[in-house]
Chains A and B, each alone.
Chain A
Amino acid sequence: MDFQPGTCPMTVQQLMDEYFIENRAKLLDIAAFLDRLDRGMNQSSSGDFRLKAFREALQVLCSKKPGRVKQIQMVFSDPTEEPLEKLDQKSACGAYDRWKLEEQ
């Protein structure tokens, strides 16, 4: 993956002018989601592995190193290499429960 300046044809100033508002809105949506979780009923499920992965992904967002999307993709990904012996559930849920392995 080539993160070199110049792979996007717009200048940084043009990118800011064009994309700032829409990405500011996305950031506020994430903040509102986290606040909503704090306001939710029955706080006992606040240890949900998806939320743990989500908080790890937020750390990556604050990094100054390029390649943040790929890193966040890997935070959510199943790190194992062997196929499952049999189907456990029909659909993926968006994050892999790595903490389950640590508990075992």
Chain B
Amino acid sequence: MEYIEMHTHMVSRTTDDYYQMALTGCVAITEPAFWAGFDRTSADGFDTYFQQLTEYEPKRAAKYGIQYYTWLCLNPKEGEDRNLAQEVLWRIPKYLDHPTVLGIGEIGLNRVTRNELKTFEEHVALAIQHNQLILIHTPHLEDKYKGTAIIVDTLLSDARIDPQRVLIDHAEEHTIGMNLEKGFWTGITLYPQTKASPQRAADMIEMYGPERICVNSASDWGPSTPVAIPQFVMEMRRRGHSDDLIRKIVYENPIEFLSQSPKFQLPRRIR
């Protein structure tokens, strides 16, 4: 089945992963800027990273017939350093007109500190100022509930925010309800150990319905798999769900959300 991977970190993946994704039906990827697994030592390091995301990765993906897009930001794991955040924030606008940049992301919170929250608010302001879509990272594990609640409150307190143009990612059973109730899009991340399994993702979709929900792998440098979405497709089929429903989650919903950016196009062959 054709699918769109809305959240993966291909800079950490091998070319063989692109191949496996193409073989399993991936037609487009969107890659948010995130943490490298270690802190970058300077704002210049982010410039290099943004060039990799905007210039190099689209070409790697194209070799496998995959359309590639990206989201830019200073990620929540490095959001505590306010000086670094401000140095990176002023560098972002020059990339925003690039044809493969869809918006600001993945921004959000990590340990839910006051500095992280300030860095998050400044990214939100930047997105509004430049009319960008927003992709949100919610904290891991014990920090997810509190962090998601603060992110949702912060966004709703700004009247300029249109929840339809924001996707709150890494939702789990205790946060998916608050994301959807307030009108946001939400992502369920299929990531071993620290996020959801294909089984639990299918359960949440059965209980909440398929509107404004996407699934993704968030595959990166940690234990993760670039073909998590095909595994989700298999789990949905195992339960007897229709291909129409599955296709809505893995293909049509991502198109509906991403098409709010005029830059988003699918590869020509499937239109």
Contact = CB atoms under 8 A, between A and B. Distances in A.
A joins B in a complex = yes
B241 A73 contact: no
B112 A83 contact: yes
Given A74-B145, A77-B145, A84-B113, 8 more contacts: A1-B207, A81-B149, A83-B116, A87-B113, A89-B111, A91-B110, A93-B142, A95-B142
Place the interface of chain B in its size category: 20 to 34
Interface stretch (B56-64, B170-178, B259-267): B170-178
B126 to A, nearest CB: 20
Contacts of B144: 73, 77
A77 B146 CA distance: 8
Top 8 closest A-B pairs, CB basis? A92-B141, A73-B174, A77-B145, A96-B142, A87-B80, A70-B173, A69-B173, A84-B113
Interface string B231-248: 000000011110000000
A27 B142 CA distance: 22
Contacts of A79: 146
A18 interface: yes
A62 B117 CA distance: 38
12 contacts: A1-B207, A9-B240, A10-B239, A69-B173, A73-B145, A77-B146, A83-B150, A84-B111, A84-B112, A86-B113, A89-B111, A94-B142
Identify whether the interface residues of B are mostly helix, strand, loop, or mixed.
helix
Nearest to A7: B206
Interface of A: 1-3, 7-10, 18, 69-70, 73-74, 76-81, 83-96
Contacts of B116: 83, 87
B181 to A, nearest CB: 11
Contacts of B114: 83-86
Contacts of B200: 69
B112 to A, nearest CB: 5
Interface of B: 77, 80, 110-117, 139-146, 149-150, 172-174, 177, 200, 203, 206-208, 238-241
B82 to A, nearest CB: 11
A92 B146 contact: no
A70 B175 CA distance: 9
A16 B262 CA distance: 47
Contacts of A89: 111
Given A73-B173, A83-B112, A86-B115, A18 B238 contact: yes
